[in-house]
């Protein structure tokens, strides 16, 4: 009997997260807590898969009876190629973070944007309608959150980046859906104070603090870092230092995007509050 067929005979539904590297991922803990809370009989694995092995690994997981996968850095764009049905929000984001294996088909969705919205609006009570929003960074993370943020009808979204090209391309892409503009860090317009400042750069992961625009932070600027860590991230330290009244790391987005994936797969939405509390305690 091959390893594949042994796995296929299990009665527990199998899920997992694929990334490279992946050992730091909290997703298995979060999904185990969701499963415990909702009484779902699932197993959730950590799967380290290098870019050149992505397709083989996804197809093998499907062939051996796997029900769904979360896809994380650096595979979120590339995995779209393997998807038979892409949700509208995944298409807008240009990235997929949730795969469901439905018969012989692969369905792709993206729960990052809704995860951010739920954390900001439901957990943290941030008002997005008519807000002036500044997003720092213009990579894949920024692309994934602009569509959902625009749906909340903010007054404006300013994308600031180290280099102008990527920010300008994103602003161009989304400007037909709402008021989006681009600039360099050094040229952030500050005539209207920003209600929300989101760090979507990957600088903090490398321990770097780019010349973020301090003048953009006012006493009403709620600062949110898409990154999270055991210690305050470089951006959250910077935000506090330049006077932001509140500076929050992205633990809530992590838990909320996982809850959305879980409910796509299992048809039941877990209560995120106790899980978020536990993550922060064990973090």
Q: Is 244 helix (H, G, I), strand (E, B) or coil?
A: coil
Write down the residue that tokens 């209560």 correspond to: 271
158 touches ligand ATR by CB under 6 A: no
Applying the rule CB under 6 A, the residues between 14 and 73 that interact with ligand ATR are: none
Q: How far is the CB of 198 from ligand ATR (least distance, A)?
A: 12
User: Cis omega before residue 74 (within 30°)?
Assistant: yes
161 touches ligand ATR by CB under 6 A: yes
Strands annotated E in the chain: 13-19, 42-48, 68-71, 85-86, 98-102, 105-109, 132-136, 156-161, 180-184, 196-199, 222-225, 246-249
202 touches ligand ATR by CB under 6 A: yes
Write down the residue that tokens 């769904």 correspond to: 68
Burial of residue 158, with CB atoms counted within 10 A of its CB: 0-12 exposed, 13-18 middle, 19 or more buried: buried
Q: How far is the CB of 256 from ligand ATR (least distance, A)?
A: 20
- Give phi and psi for 261, each to the nearest 5: -60, -45
Q: Are the C-beta atoms of residues 272 and 251 closer than 8 Å to each other? A: no
Rg for the chain (alpha carbons), in Å? 19
Q: Which is nearer to ligand ATR, 123 or 202 (CB)?
A: 202
186 touches ligand ATR by CB under 6 A: no
Q: Which is nearer to ligand ATR, 202 or 263 (CB)?
A: 202
Nearest to 229 by CA among 33, 18, 24: 24
Q: Which is nearer to ligand ATR, 186 or 220 (CB)?
A: 186
Q: Is 6 a catalytic residue?
A: no
Residue nearest to ligand ATR (CB): 139
Q: Which is nearer to ligand ATR, 73 or 190 (CB)?
A: 73
Q: How far is the CB of 250 from ligand ATR (least distance, A)?
A: 14
From the candidates 53, 67, 76, 206, which is the catalytic residue? 76
Candidates 5, 10, 127, 163; binder of ligand ATR (CB under 6 A) is: 163
Applying the rule CB under 6 A, the residues between 83 and 142 that interact with ligand ATR are: 137-141
CA 270/CA 259 separation, integer angstroms: 6
Q: Which is nearer to ligand ATR, 70 or 161 (CB)?
A: 161
CA 33/CA 92 separation, integer angstroms: 30
Q: How far is the CB of 114 from ligand ATR (least distance, A)?
A: 19
Applying the rule CB under 6 A, the residues between 205 and 244 that interact with ligand ATR are: 208, 210
**Number of residues this chain uses to bind ligand ATR (CB under 6 A):** 14
Instruction: Show which residues are catalytic.
Output: 76
Binding positions for ligand ATR, rule: CB under 6 A:
137-141, 161-163, 166, 201-203, 208, 210
């Amino acid at each position: 009997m091959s390893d594949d067929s042994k796995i296929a005979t299990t009665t527990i539904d199998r899920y997992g997260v694929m990334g490279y590297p992946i050992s730091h991922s909290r997703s298995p803990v979060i999904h185990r807590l969701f499963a415990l809370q909702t009484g779902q009989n699932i197993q959730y694995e950590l799967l380290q898969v290098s870019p050149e092995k992505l397709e083989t690994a996804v197809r093998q997981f499907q062939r051996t009876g796997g029900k769904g996968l979360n896809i994380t850095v650096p595979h979120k764009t590339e995995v779209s190629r393997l998807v038979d049905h892409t949700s509208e929000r995944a298409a807008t984001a240009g990235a997929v973070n949730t795969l469901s294996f439905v018969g012989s088909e692969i369905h792709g969705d993206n729960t990052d944007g809704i995860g951010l919205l739920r954390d900001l609006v439901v957990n943290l009570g941030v008002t997005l309608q008519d807000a002036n929003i500044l997003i720092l960074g213009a990579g894949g993370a920024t692309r994934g959150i602009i569509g959902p943020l625009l749906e909340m009808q903010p007054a404006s979204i300013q994308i600031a980046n180290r280099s102008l090209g990527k920010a300008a391309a994103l602003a161009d892409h989304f400007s037909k859906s709402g008021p989006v503009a681009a600039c360099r860090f050094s040229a952030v317009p500050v005539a209207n104070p920003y209600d929300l400042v989101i760090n979507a750069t990957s600088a903090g992961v490398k321990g770097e603090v780019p010349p973020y625009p301090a003048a953009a932070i006012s006493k009403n600027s709620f600062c949110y870092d898409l990154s999270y860590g055991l210690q305050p991230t470089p951006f959250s330290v910077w935000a506090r230092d330049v006077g932001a009244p509140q500076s929050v790391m992205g633990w809530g987005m992590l838990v909320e995007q996982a809850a959305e994936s879980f409910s796509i797969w299992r048809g039941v939405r877990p209560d995120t509050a106790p899980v978020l509390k536990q993550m922060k305690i064990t973090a």
